[in-house]
Chains A and B, each alone.
Chain A
Amino acid sequence: AQSVTQLGSHVSVSEGALVLLRCNYSSSVPPYLFWYVQYPNQGLQLLLKYTTGATLVKGINGFEAEFKKSETSFHLTKPSAHMSDAAEYFCALNQAGTALIFGKGTTLSVSS
């Protein structure tokens, strides 16, 4: 069965520090992988996605993620956090045209 595990329900960083949000997945076949962000009282917005090809994926707002098949991971990073990055982040996977399966989410707090 497919599943997504996000390690750490809450991550706190200082402004300018590295952001690392962890995501591991379980899938019987190579999945499509996504990161979404949700700001308070809003819907989800796609940050980036991995389908095939290059394993390092660049997204919006300076975020990127690397697909590592051997580690079944798809961690999200950003070199320098900004106050506006404070939000909830969701990792998700999809295979064979089925519905997106989401992780439980990680709340990112950024302090000045």
Chain B
Amino acid sequence: KAGVTQTPRYLIKTRGQQVTLSCSPISGHRSVSWYQQTPGQGLQFLFEYFSETQRNKGNFPGRFSGRQFSNSRSEMNVSTLELGDSALYLCASSLTSGSTGELFFGEGSRLTVL
């Protein structure tokens, strides 16, 4: 059974650009969550999608957005990149919404903003 797949694994952008990250959940999982991981702030919740609907949202500015497709694949977009957006972005999938069950994480997309 394939795990959670995130692409790209590494990317470098400059300030002001935008970026789109992709996440393919485990087959059959309908919930996808996104987290930002930085050395200073740790793991911070961005948002969760379930059946193409955003169910929960963290405390991030509107430059951070996401969506989920009918096949449960998800994308997140960051516009007008800032240096502080440099981080590891982790996607996690689960069978149900609300994280009462186990989250299965991908290996992450490491974004560097120059």
Contact = CB atoms under 8 A, between A and B. Distances in A.
A7 to B, nearest CB: 14
Interface residues of A, number: 22
Contact of A100 (B4, B99, B104, B108): B99
Interface string B87-114: 0001010000111101111111000000
B90 A44 contact: yes
Nearest to A41: B107
A51 B100 CA distance: 8
B100 A99 contact: no
A94 B90 contact: no
Contact of A99 (B33, B42, B90, B106): B33
Interface residues of B, number: 22
Interface in A11-46: 32, 36, 41-46
B102 A49 contact: yes
Contacts of B42: 102-105
B100 A43 contact: no
Interface of A: 32, 36, 41-46, 49, 51, 90, 94, 96-105
Interface of B: 4, 33, 35, 42-43, 45, 48, 56, 58, 90, 92, 97-100, 102-108
